[in-house]
Chain A
């Protein structure tokens, strides 16, 4: 099997996760998209992308949640559901682990820094870009 072919199959599984992050996903369903056994898929995925399918899914969900918390007015429970978690407790602890603060605190902190409602503050992007595009220097 050529490396390109393998990568194409793996990408099909990765795309499946990205397209269905808001739904409950099982490793066997994802592996099926790549025509691999769950164990083989898990191993090759980790070797190729440097993270497991589950770590990729969590990262994706947390990134989506961060965006929703800032640019939408949904409460944390709604955001939790929209990114595919049933348990608010699991979502909050994963968010805390990835971001370093609870979802509510993240929202409060970034909203307080931004001069516009439902927009990320300039501090959320690298300072050289904030300076270049927004003329803002970090305080």
Chain B
């Protein structure tokens, strides 16, 4: 039986800039930041109150899985906003939205009542959109 999800990947354009966004704007904590052989940087972040799910901030680069061309295509798609980072939960969507807006986080949709709660939709500094949901 699978009990939980430990890691999920968010492709970003620049790891340093993404780290600044997730840490200093969204208030996440760094899980791992390791220099791995082969020039790979293993960088993970997680919400302060939950380190069970680590978000891996990875740059699409030419390598075993991506050709130079496919890495560039993925980077373009990220910039175009074709990918989503997922859903982040909060206890007060309006308040968190206001705090994040004050920090310069861009939102495509302000807090809005949905069937499942109150939701705002924002975008990270790479172009990945995310939902901020209060259930």
Give the B-binding residues of A (Cβ under 8 A). Answer: 2-4, 7, 11, 14, 18, 48-49, 63, 67, 70-71, 114-116, 118-122, 124-126, 129-136
**Chain B, range 46-91, C-beta contacts under 8 Å to A:** 48-49, 56, 58, 61, 63-65, 91
A92 and B33 alpha carbons, distance in the complex (Å): 22
A7 touches B49 (CB 8 A): yes
| Shortest Cβ gap from B54 to chain A (Å) | 10
Instruction: Select B49's contact among A48, A115, A131, beta carbons within 8 Å.
Output: A48
Verify B64–A131 contact, CB threshold 8 A: yes
Question: Interface SS of chain B: helix, strand, loop or mixed?
Answer: mixed
Q: Which residues of B contact A131 (CB under 8 A)?
A: 64
Give every chain A residue within 8 A of B7 (Cβ-Cβ): 126, 129
Determine the residue in chain B with the shortest Cβ distance to A14. B48
- CB <8 Å contact, B37 and A134: yes
B90: nearest residue on chain A (CB-CB)? A4
Known: A49-B49, A126-B7. A133 touches B58 (CB 8 A): yes
Cβ of B92 < 8 Å from any Cβ of A?
A: yes
Closest to A126 in B: B7
Task: Report yes or no: A4 in contact with B64, Cβ–Cβ below 8 A.
Answer: no
Q: Are A120 and B35 within 8 A (Cβ)?
A: yes
Q: Across the two chains, which residue of chain A brings its CB closest to B7?
A: A126
**B91 interface neighbour in A3, A18, A133, Cβ under 8 Å:** A3
A135 nearest in chain B by CB position: B64
Q: Which residue of B lies closest to A51 (CB)?
A: B51
